[in-house]
Structure 1
Amino acid sequence: MSAWLTPLAGGILIGLAATLLLWLNGRIAGISGIVGGVLLPRAGETAWRVLFLLGLIGAGAAWLLLVPGAYTPRQGFPVWMLVVAGLLVGFGTRMGNGCTSGHGVCGLGRLSPRSFAAVLTFMATAIVTTFVVRHLA
């Protein structure tokens, strides 16, 4: 598959899923909020969240099965570094009151100023982190 076609298709599917969830269910497709609602459930709010998360996992698994070699894990990162990175992402998500999917996909689409500020922060942090890891570490 063409190098640009896969990310384009993924972006369209993510946008379509976020739009349909908002339109049909009145909910924002922010993954941290969806996971949080599964971990701290409220009546009538758990089933759709679990199904959405299963859909994410199932779609990823289906892609890996249908397109062998579609994913090649990065090599050379120590496990402790990956754990620290995961904890920092979780901390930032909590501090920013949302994740890249909630702010970047859904918030920007709704022209939210708070999401615009969050996405600028995400991107600036990602650029600096990538530079530090690749060139200074």
Structure 2
Amino acid sequence: MQTWSSFFPLGWQPYLLGGLLVGGGTALLFVLTGRIGGMSTVLSSSWSYVIQRPFFQQEPFIASRQWRLVYALGLILGAFLWWATLGEGQPQRTSVPVWQLALGGFVAGYGARLGNGCTSGHGVCGLGSLQLPSLGAVLTFMATAFLTANLMRTVS
């Protein structure tokens, strides 16, 4: 049987702080600018710089790609600052094979596109603004995650 310390090896406080910072940051973005900070749209609009396919050249992506690219760079900078200051400068390691990470990333990306948004867009921004379709998306994300985690636990 697993204990809470196996789920939260650094304690629960960093996860609470991270959640508060993510929620506060997206709320601040919305309150100050009226913009929604979902990451799948950030990714699509950033790709519009280099991919000329019609999907990536849609007006909403082109019109918002400058602020979305700055937003994405801010997230990367924030992660780097955490790693350099609080992360003890140690790289994160995993025992998960690279092919499984790549497959998981592909499936998650496909699901985000299929669901018209990702966990940050629906889970943080959509639920925060009380959008009913986001509740359905989050329930689907969570049910799929629970099912997958339990399936993988029984397989391995």
Q: What TM-score do you get using the length of structure 2 for normalisation?
A: 0.79
Which residue of the partner structure matches residue 74 of structure 1? Answer: 94
Per-residue displacement from partner, 1:14-57 (whole Å, max 9, x unpaired)? 011111111112111100011212222514x2221111111100
| Offset at residue 73 of structure 1 (A) | 2.4
After superposing on structure 2, the runs of 4+ consecutive aligned residues of structure 1 that deviate more than 4 Å are none
- Distance in 2 (CA, whole Å) between partners of 1:32 and 1:70 is 28
Tell me the equivalent position of 1:23. 31
Alignment deviations for residues 49-105 of structure 1 (CA, whole Å, 9 cap, x no partner): 111111100110111110216763221x22222111111001100010000000000
Larger Rg: 2
Structure 1, unaligned stretches of length 5 or more? none
Structure 2 CA distance for aligned equivalents of residues 10 and 71 of structure 1: 18
Equivalences for residues 28-67 of structure 1 within 5 A:
28-40=36-48, 41-43=61-63, 45-67=64-86
Alpha carbon RMSD of aligned pairs, Å? 1.6
Q: Which residue of 1 aligns with 2:136?
A: 117
* Structure 2 CA distance for aligned equivalents of residues 9 and 88 of structure 1: 28
Residues 69 and 4 (structure 1), Cα distance of their counterparts in 2 relative to 1, 3 Å cut: farther
Q: Which moved more, 1:87-96 or 1:45-54?
A: 45-54
Report the number of matched residues: 134
Report which stretch shifted further, 122-131 or 34-43.
34-43
Distance 1:107 1:70 in 2: 34
Question: What does 1:75-114 align with in structure 2 at a 5 Å threshold?
Answer: 75=95, 77-114=96-133
Alignment TM-score, normalising by the size of structure 1: 0.90
Structure 2, unaligned runs of 5 or more: 1-9, 49-60
Residue 136 of structure 1 corresponds to 155
Q: Residues of 2 paired with 1:10 and 1:55: CA distance?
A: 15
Distance 1:129 1:106 in 2: 24
